Amino acid sequence: MQAREWRRLVEDINADIAGMVRAQQTLREVNDALVQRARNPIEEDFIHADMWDIDPHMPRITQVDGVSIQTRMLHRRGLSQKDIKGADLLYEIVGTKFALVQYKKPDRQGRVKRDKEQLDDLIASCPTPCPPFQSGFAYRCGSWYAVRPDSPKAASYVPACVAALVFGKSNSRTENQFIFGISFSDFQRAFGNCLTGARIGPEQLDRETIELTLIERDWVVFEALQFGSFRDRTA
């Protein structure tokens, strides 16, 4: 390995570790905001509870390829409120990773309007060093933008910073300019199979088998230790 390659590898590893720390901080801030919401219910919460027997503060659990995915609503409540971190939903594999998703429906002319402040908040909440978008970080992207027409089958999910590139300096774009994204089912599978999402911790390895095998193959093995946590404040 050349010195330049080694420096790039170390930079990528340090960026990965820093990203996991930022992801923990972001998730803690989201959880704090959700706790505050639960402590201060508004009329909309009572309507959901009485009309549909739904507690908006309780997570919904779905199974995707044998993986439990928890979703919670971050969308603004009431006209004076705002979305948490610019997102409408929080997807979470508890203790492993999460993804923030902002949803937009095209208008009658088939155009998607940009809410710049909301999209900027969403991008800033992603733990990866984007923008600009870097394809190598897509597997750990924590902020997604979903264009959802009337038919859920036509939904298109793209990383938030990619959505910003599509908009450029325009305040709206046609929905067809987002069709290159992945479908709803593919997004769920990618998240459930850990092909994307903001990780809040490193992969756990069997040190007596996997690590030794890698070392014997002359691979470099890095170990990151964390003392303390950003994850237990709302527990």
Reply yes or no on whether the pLDDT at 220 is more than 90: no
**CB crowding 47-64: b at 16 or more within 10 Å, else e:** ebeeeeeeebbeeeeeeb
Give 50-76 pLDDT, tens digit per residue.
766 677 778 889 998 889 999 998 987
The residue among 16 and 208 whose pLDDT is bigger is 16
Residue type, 28: R
DSSP letters spanning the chain: --HHHHHHHHHHHHHHHHHHHHHHHHHHHHHHHHHHHHHS--HHHHHHHHHH---TTS-EEEEETTEEEEEEE-S--STT---BTTBSEEEEETTTEEEEEEEE---TTSEEEP-HHHHHHHHHT-SS--SSP-GGGGGG--EEEEE--SSGGG-EEEEHHHHHHHHTT-SEEEGGGGTTSB-HHHHHHHHHTTSSSEESSPPP--IIIIIHHHHHTT---------S-SS-TT-
Residue type, 11: E
The residue among 156 and 41 whose pLDDT is bigger is 156
The residue among 15 and 153 whose pLDDT is bigger is 15
CA 7 – CA 49 distance, rounded (Å): 55
Residue-level pLDDT at 215: 64
Over residues 21-42, mean pLDDT: 88
With cut-offs at 50, 70 and 90, classify the pLDDT of residue 147.
very high
With cut-offs at 50, 70 and 90, classify the pLDDT of residue 202.
confident
Residue-level pLDDT at 7: 84
Both structure tokens of 129 = 């060093």
Cβ 102 vs Cβ 144: under 8 Å: yes
The residue among 232 and 206 whose pLDDT is bigger is 206
Average pLDDT of the chain is: 83
First to last CA, the chain: 45
The residue among 212 and 14 whose pLDDT is bigger is 14
With cut-offs at 50, 70 and 90, classify the pLDDT of residue 4.
confident
The residue among 43 and 176 whose pLDDT is bigger is 176
Domain boundaries defined on the chain? 3-204
CA 186 – CA 170 distance, rounded (Å): 28
Reply yes or no on whether the pLDDT at 234 is more than 50: no
Q: What pTM was computed for the model?
A: 0.81
